[in-house]
Structure 1
Amino acid sequence: MSSATGIFLLSLTAIPIAYSLNFAYQLSWGQWPVLFIGCVCLFAVALVAYVLVKSSSSRHRISDPCFYVFSVFAFTSVIDMVIALELDGVIDNFVTFYLKEGELYLNTAHGTMINYWDGTGQYCMYLMMVTAIVWKQSYREVALYWFGSIMMSLVIFMPGNIAGKFGGDLKVSYVLNFPFVVLPFVILVKKWREEPTYEWSPSEAKTTQQKSILKRPVDLMFAVYLIGAALFSFLRALAAWESPLGLAQTYVNDYEPYLKDPVIYPKIHVMIYWFYFVPYYVCCIYGLIYPGKSWMPDLALIHAGASAQGQITHIGSSVHSRTPYIYRIPYSARPVVYTLNILLLVVPQLMSYKFTYYPQFFADLEQNSKSSTNGQIQKKQR
């Protein structure tokens, strides 16, 4: 059995472990034992992953420490999927103890949706990266996409837990989230320093970079989208903080009342767009107009991951049964709101695909001329 298969099976042990711990909760544990057991489980998973690597054949020896991080995170993704299913009533008595003595703020629509995303989208990313490590292949692009996804989740979730209506009910198990804040940055630095695996032809890149944006209809469409997304982000920021401006009042009352939910997650969501995404939009428009900005494909991957997590969670939470009825999107407004939010989800994915697999316009020709000769196609191993 390969190490990758072993990690997949190891992650599935989260289901019986969660059920067993929930049964043992009848002993009336408090919040401190929950924190202790959580730490023990994470350490035990890392230890078992280490044993799996040591017992594997020599051709599957692992030298990348990220393997153990992703192994632990895959285990927690299955736990999160179990939490989401229990919150929606699909299963019962698997993590009841944790929802009472652990993280109470998970009992919200936002908490449910982030667990669904972690148990599906991010779980698949962990398995992909674990497999890539075992097969000695590059997983740089997946890692950048995953970083955007998990950080978008945490920059909304962590402050929202404190500032929202559950701020007075924090338990010590809140600190279990800290490794998920620190380790992604360590992995980002590690992967950012690696050489990109994008492929491009110097001759084709030179020809492409001589075209203005008006002669590149796809890039022009992206620029128009970015301008519209920036304006929409400004409107939603005004609406979330209940600006007296008529258009903002109309939007928050008639289209997206979820922005007024006291859990405060949606407010933080739209402010992340205004303070972080809009500056990226401006930089991206600049990069679409002027050639040779080699950082564009990498940032597009991070932005796509953040957009996927943020929009799926936001859209799902705004119509979820755990959101009070008065804050859900009205049926009459759903076509408009869905269209706008789905655009914020889909277009960043298209941009990252285009920038990653057709990076000619963003190629640094000056740097390439120093490292290659005769205009040969520059290829790097994936």
Structure 2
Amino acid sequence: MARTVTIVHPGALGDVLLSLPAIRALRASFPRQEFGLLAGDEVGKLLRACGEIERLFPLEGDSLASLLADRTSRSRGWAGQTFFEWLSRCDLAVCWMADPDGRLAGSLGDLGVDRIIVGSPLSADCQGAHQADRLMETLRGVVTTCRHEEKLKLPDKVLDAARARLEALGDWGKQPLAVIHPGSGSPHKCSEPALLAQAVTWLQANGAAPVLVGGPADDERLAEVSSRCAVPPPACRGLDLLSVAGLLAHGRLFLGHDSGLTHLAASLHPVPQEAPSVKPWYGLHIQTVALFGPTDCSRWAPRGPHVTVLSGAPCLCREQGRQTVQQCRDKPCLQIPAERLVLACQQGLQGAGGWCREQPTSGSAPCYAQ
């Protein structure tokens, strides 16, 4: 049977997507091995569908718990045995998490893994400015290349299902699609609904077709944005991650906050778009406008010349800790002038954009530093 490489990443969607360059670098260094990922079920299914991994061991199962248990407590159920058999053929295990007592590394060694790397990219030992670089640091001595530009390519059946869903919304296909995600993993990372509503209104008036997306936790914000629009845009709710990815891949523009969906949009290979009333467009990226506030965009923003990051005033709460961020009511770091957002959307639809390495101050132009 084939030898394997195992990656353990318990992070959220955006965190896992930031590890894609490192995962691809590992694949280049281990071209004959099959890759398995222990991560959240939805992001794991996404990466498996896109051919980034061969096997998924869902974080929601007992695989990680078994590794952190003592020998006598390890799961011997079918799932546990399957994972242990996989590890018995494992040439390398990379675990992007803390292991203060060494139990994780010890269990992997007991189960026959040849080489083990355990290191959290959040550790003070990592020196890189961007999270993707910090992940690569943990692989020193194992990989030498890092590829940022490759995009996730979704299966045709996912794209076809998304096309059918969009066609059911109305005259989709006659105008470039702009997908807007009003939510985030935290309400403290979200701009005012009125700001996004202004972007929706501008897009509608300038030949684009805005669509809102969101999960169950975003229902309130979706309603708040829609209620502020003279013509409420259609909204797609309650979809699984692969279905959302299919919608995003049909878009020319994505607008969101510091969220997993923003990272997903920036990571996807778009579907070529050509319609009678739309200028043919065969871009390599989905133009992504990301609104960052209390989070440091130089570390956490998606990378690429197709990404534009907008912020308000420099965040004064960040260095004082999460509690201070949560207590901030005015959120000046997310007070972004509507004209700046509209300009970013306009440039995105035209194919212009840039990755922001530093937080712009209020009133400055979007940052296009490469």
Q: TM-score, normalised by structure 1?
A: 0.22
TM-score, normalization by structure 2: 0.22
More helix by share: 1
* Larger relative contact order (Cα-Cα within 8 Å, sequence gap ≥ 6): 1
Higher percent of residues as strand = 2
